[in-house]
Amino acid sequence: MKKPLLWLLGALVLGVVLWLTLLLMPKTNEQAFRMKVEKGQGISGVSRQLAENDVIYSRTVLVGTAYLMGVHNQLRNGNYKLPKTVSAWQILQRLKKGRPDTITVRIIEGMRFAQMRHIINGVADLKHDTKDWSDEKLLQEIDPQALNAHPEGLFAPDSYEVDADSSDLQIYRLAYRTMQKNLSSAWDERQSGLPYRNPYELLIMASIVEKETAHPKDRRDVAAVFVNRLNIGMRLQTDPTVIYGMGERYQGKIRKADLQRDTPYNTYTRNGLTPTPIALPGKAALEAAAHPSHAKYLYFVSKMDDTGESQFSHTLEEHNAAVRKYILKR
């Protein structure tokens, strides 16, 4: 009876020793590694990243110890610079302290500036110097000579990495400079004959294209529709501009009365472009606005399927037929 018990005890001791060895013994890698923890990510995803890059000896040991320490679901997002030689225990200690070396803030194409500010205000490990500033003060601080006093559209959606404890103003500066670069490039390389009087009008068009379609195949055709309408003096008549003009009154649905209520952004009641962009356009939307297709389309409607594509038409008759097919299902 004693012998099996001794064997069991010996195996247990051996297992503990092996576990501790894999946990505490440093592993030397070819180079330092940057461990990235996404927002909401748990220890399973982080350990997979480390195992796939051969940074640790055992994923099981790392995950199991994380659960024992109670840090498995309390990871702070950001980037952690790990030295060339590091143990699983040292990695867990870094995660437990929750102090990343850098953080990444992602701004999505088509977001509004207000949404960008909300995201940045909610990021931990940033100094929120601008949190209580007005939009006007923020833009004035970044560029007193900005294209417009209204900040919408002037900041590029992208992923921005900054050092932990940096001022949030640094992200705004990066996003502003990125948009200035992207817009300047799009303006300089634009095709001839476009109805834009200046880069700001191209930016406005790009924001409308951004909100009208996320399908890469359709962007240049959507831009062509609006360019063609501008060229013949036809109103743009695009719902996203109406929604922007509604502000907080928009609750997920546009009514006929909303289309008829005049605002500076209602392209059903007003000619030409909106006074400002209506969103933060990405680089692809800028390129589409600068290089619309040569198609003579004047209308388009969503196909309302999982492709995300639109049906384009040259005439109102064609468009009405497309609406019956894809929207009314007749």
How many CA atoms are closer than 13 Å to the CA of 19, on its beta-carbon side? Answer: 14
Q: Residue 147: what pLDDT? A: 83
φ, ψ of residue 310 in degrees (nearest 5): -115, 155
Q: Kindly state the helix (H) or strand (E) to which residue 66 belongs, with its residue range.
A: helix 59-69
Query: What tens digit of pLDDT does each residue of 107-149 get?
Result: 999 999 999 999 999 988 899 999 999 999 999 999 999 988 8
- Per-chain mean pLDDT for the chain: 92
| Contact criterion met (CB below 8 Å) for 156 and 179 | yes
Query: What is the C-alpha R_g of the chain?
Result: 27
Sign of the Cα torsion 120, 122, 124, 125 reads: positive
What is the share, in percent, of the chain residues with pLDDT greater than 70? 98
pLDDT at 185 over 90: yes
Query: What tens digit of pLDDT does each residue of 244-281 get?
Result: 999 989 988 889 999 999 999 999 999 999 999 999 99
Name the percent of the chain in helix, strand, coil, to the closest 5.
45, 10, 45
Q: Structure pTM?
A: 0.79
pLDDT at 5 over 90: no
Domains of the chain: 12-100 (3.30.1490.480), 103-185 (no CATH), 191-326 (no CATH)
Q: Give the confidence band of 308 by pLDDT, cuts at 50, 70, 90.
A: confident
Single-letter code of the amino acid located at 133: W
Distance of alpha carbon 286 from alpha carbon 313, whole angstroms: 23
Q: Residue 2: what pLDDT? A: 64
Query: What tens digit of pLDDT does each residue of 28-66 get?
Result: 888 888 888 887 888 999 999 999 999 999 999 989 999
Distance of alpha carbon 304 from alpha carbon 298, whole angstroms: 19
The DSSP bridge partners found for residue 326 are: none
Q: Which two tokens stand for residue 76?
A: 């702070």
With CA atoms as reference, report the closest residue to 212 among 244, 185, 188, 181: 244
pLDDT at 150 over 80: yes
| Contact criterion met (CB below 8 Å) for 42 and 73 | yes
Q: Give every CB contact of residue 324 below 8 A, 6+ residues apart in sequence.
A: 330
